[in-house]
Amino acid sequence: MTGFILTILSMIVLGLLLGALINPGIGLLAIPIVLFVLLNIVMMSDTLQRQRRIHKMRQFRTSARAQKAGLSEDDKYTVV
């Protein structure tokens, strides 16, 4: 988690520095861009976690299904 926070902070600082080199007023545009990228990363991680949970649930339901059992002659006679 610490590495993730440092990555985001470094992206903000580098964006501000690059923006200040190009145009002093444009450095403020780096913050919305970084926030947009951060939001997309969070949304993608949430989506992937949700997909993993759904996949695990489907596997559990598939494994929990009743197995077919063959009927012996005595069973068939009792049923009929």
* Full-model pTM: 0.48
Please check whether residue 37 is in contact with residue 45, taking contact to mean a CB–CB distance below 8 angstroms. no
**How far apart (Å, rounded) are the C-alpha atoms in residues 45 and 39?**
10
Mean pLDDT of the chain: 80
Domain boundaries, the chain: 28-61
**How far apart (Å, rounded) are the C-alpha atoms in residues 36 and 11?**
12
Tens of pLDDT, residue by residue over 32-70, are 877 888 888 888 888 899 999 999 999 999 888 877 777
Query: What is the 3-class SS of the chain, one letter each residue?
Result: CHHHHHHHHHHHHHHHHHHHHHCCCHHHHHHHHHHHHHHHHHHHHHHHHHHHHHHHHHHHHHHHCCCCCCCCHHHHHHHC
